[in-house]
Structure 1
């Protein structure tokens, strides 16, 4: 029983695209199971195990976390990781362009096609007569 609980904790790895919240909650459940079996480790070791189980996507977070030398609880680490995931999603979202005029978009479309967009003379401007 102790062996299986330890193995679950040490061998669990987060898969790419899965929820960091679900992953850490699963890891916390394994920690709680070990605590009930009196096979508890120091809290720092649990944090290290959870950090080691994350995908490479979280490498920047892990580096910053280790530099800051924080000693949070597992639920606090879960909240930090959720915030990091939210920040990563915001960084991947392209900025919205508001108020884009149709003339700008048609000029861009013409450039993409390799054509030059011709412009009409402004009102009040006359063509030169030869």
Structure 2
């Protein structure tokens, strides 16, 4: 009976392997909040420390930074260039602040005047005139390639923006 327990018992080595696999393989889901991802990564770090894996703070930070999506590339470059020495908790706080200041928004596009002439109306996806009230809608291609209508439609003057 003792032999059966030894055969079917889960070894500490296997638990350690599984925990490190999850930690090194975790990636933040695009569009989710970095705070919840940071909490998940910190809980995995605590589990690894309980298992006495023996990784240092720099390795933990490297793995956390590698788990982030492309949106955080500028933050990562800045962090590495400035050779910041932070704890994991400070790193997560910095990431939350970075996310809050950038709002995960697409870059703004500058829009100039629109003409209501037929030559401009026929151009490829630049300016389109709506029938009726003389509103002009500017469309741009987003990063995903789909056209997006811009806000700030001026009525009757042929301009896009807040002035009328």
Common fold by TM > 0.5 = yes
What are the Cα deviations for residues 27-46 of structure 1, in whole angstroms up to 9, with x where unaligned? 11111101001102010000
Name 1:24's counterpart in structure 2: 38
Name 1:47's counterpart in structure 2: 61
1:111 corresponds to 2:157: yes
Q: Distance in 2 between matches of 1:46 and 1:90?
A: 25
Q: With CA pairs under 8 Å and 6+ residues apart, which has the higher RCO, 1 or 2? A: 1
2:48 pairs with one of 24, 31, 34: 34
Q: Based on CA coordinates, which of the two structures has the bigger radius of gyration? A: 1
Query: Offset of 1:112 from its aligned partner?
Result: 3.1
Segments of structure 1 that go 5 or more residues without pairing to the other structure are: 95-107, 114-130
2:75 pairs with one of 58, 61, 69: 61
Structure ranking higher in strand proportion? 2
Q: From the superposition, tell whether residues 58 and 71 of structure 1 become closer, same or farther in structure 2 (CA, over 3 Å).
A: same
1:76 pairs with one of 58, 78, 90: 90
Write out the 4+ residue segments of structure 1 that deviate beyond 6 Å after TM superposition. Answer: none
Q: From the superposition, tell whether residues 2 and 53 of structure 1 become closer, same or farther in structure 2 (CA, over 3 Å).
A: same
Q: Distance in 2 between matches of 1:88 and 1:9?
A: 27
Q: TM-score, normalised by structure 1?
A: 0.71
Q: Distance in 2 between matches of 1:85 and 1:21?
A: 9
Query: Offset of 1:91 from its aligned partner?
Result: 6.6
1:7 corresponds to 2:53: no
